[in-house]
Amino acid sequence: MTKHTWRGTACQSLLLVLVSLLALPAGAQERRYITDKILVPVRSGAGGEYRIVNKGLSSGTPITQYSLSEDGIWAEVETRGGTRGWLRAQYIQTEVPTKVLLEEAGVRYRELEADRDKLLSMLDDTQSDAYAADGELEELRKTLAATDAELLEIKRVSGAAIELDSRNQSLARELEGKRSEAELLKLENVRLQERIDNNLIIDGALAVLLGVIIAALAPRLMPKKRRNDGWS
């Protein structure tokens, strides 16, 4: 085996190892991640009324989940930095977030670019070498073509992930807007109900007062009977 053939085989082995590493699972079963949507505050208890112990965990923050509240809305978690508390379970997901995937894809893309540059350099050296065999050149060309194809696939997947991330953020903003509108409607309903209750109380009081007035004035408004004094 020539020196250039050994290099080509080593590059192929390196590519296979990197692809295998990307296919490994993200972590143990208890590992979770903060979603891509918004910064999530951590509270000291399972409820919005508890004190905030962390103003907001960003997307892709790894956490360990310990338990859920009885209603399933809040989850007790702990960050790698030791911050422990409660946050809404809706912001936790088992899948690796898009942000992390994009960062990994970027690292993989740069590694493949470096490998491609090495292959191109090796190809140039081989072509300039008078003793290089045609079979070795063809092998390098195939390896280079496979690397370019993988680069194109990573570009396509990264573009789809960026579009999905943008859609997720848009939906998150829309959800927060709808939630705010719902809260305002609930508050307005409470105010309207209070007004209705107050009006009913006032109407009842006016009805009672009107009855008292009518009862007081009724004898005066009725015509008095004429006395019969015996004169015709």
Each residue's pLDDT tens digit, 111-154: 888 888 888 887 777 766 655 567 777 788 888 888 888 888 88
The residue written with tokens 């994009």 in the block is: 102
Token couple for 170: 């848009």
Token couple for 136: 């070795």
Token couple for 127: 């072509």
The residue written with tokens 């015709």 in the block is: 232
Whole-angstrom distance, CA of residue 20 vs CA of residue 146: 16
Whole-angstrom distance, CA of residue 127 vs CA of residue 159: 36
pTM of this prediction? 0.36
Q: Which pLDDT score is estimated for 223?
A: 62
3-state secondary structure of 34: strand
Arithmetic mean of pLDDT, 166-176: 77
Return the sign of the alpha-carbon dihedral for residues 95, 99, 105, 107.
negative
The pLDDT-based confidence of 155 (bands split at 50, 70, 90) is: confident
Q: Cα 76–79–83 angle (5° rounding)?
A: 80
Closest by CA to 15, choosing from 146, 106, 120, 123, is 146
Please determine, for residue 177, whether its predicted confidence score (pLDDT) is greater than 60.
Answer: yes
The residues facing 129 across adjacent strands are none
Q: Which pLDDT score is estimated for 222?
A: 65
Q: Do the bridges between strand 31-34 and strand 62-68 make them parallel or antiparallel, or are there none, so unpaired?
A: antiparallel
pLDDT digits (tens, 9 = 90+) for 84-105: 999 999 888 888 777 777 777 8
List the domains of the chain with CATH numbers. Answer: 31-93 (2.30.30.40)
The pLDDT-based confidence of 27 (bands split at 50, 70, 90) is: very low
Whole-angstrom distance, CA of residue 92 vs CA of residue 74: 10
pLDDT digits (tens, 9 = 90+) for 180-222: 788 888 888 888 888 888 888 888 888 888 787 877 777 766 6
